[in-house]
């Protein structure tokens, strides 16, 4: 999975922001959108999947004009492909005041 926007290393970004994630697959497999999960890693963790579920496609997730509060937010994305392989990644959104 690639975080396209905000660009990795972009530092602080302003809200609202555009979040664009691209899924990479191998061997002709495709990501199965119904098995993608987005989890906000705080205590307790918050499952964001239902909030963006309609935006999850086999090639990635695109959320335009996402209103994100200031702070550093860690998000875990979990995927499963049509060959049954699981993958996950964690990325941070650093949002300015």
Task: Specify the pTM.
Answer: 0.90
61 pLDDT higher than 90: yes
Query: Where does residue 35 rank: exposed (0-12), middle (13-18), buried (19+ CB within 10 A)?
Result: middle
- In the chain the domains, ranked by start, together with CATH numbers, are 2-95 (2.60.40.1220)
Arithmetic mean of pLDDT, 55-63: 96
pLDDT of residue 8 exceeding 90: no
Average pLDDT estimate for 17-27:
93
pLDDT at 10: 87
User: With 90 as the cut, is the pLDDT of residue 12 above it?
Assistant: yes
């Amino acid at each position: 999975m690639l975080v396209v926007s905000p660009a990795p290393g972009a530092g602080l970004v302003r809200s609202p922001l555009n979040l664009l994630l691209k899924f990479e697959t191998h061997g002709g497999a495709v990501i199965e959108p119904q098995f993608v999960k987005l989890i906000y890693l705080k205590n307790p963790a918050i499952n964001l999947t239902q909030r963006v579920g309609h935006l999850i496609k086999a090639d990635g997730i695109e959320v335009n004009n996402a209103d994100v509060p200031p702070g550093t937010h860690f998000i875990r994305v979990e995927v499963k492909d049509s060959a049954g392989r699981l993958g996950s990644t964690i990325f941070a959104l650093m949002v300015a005041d």
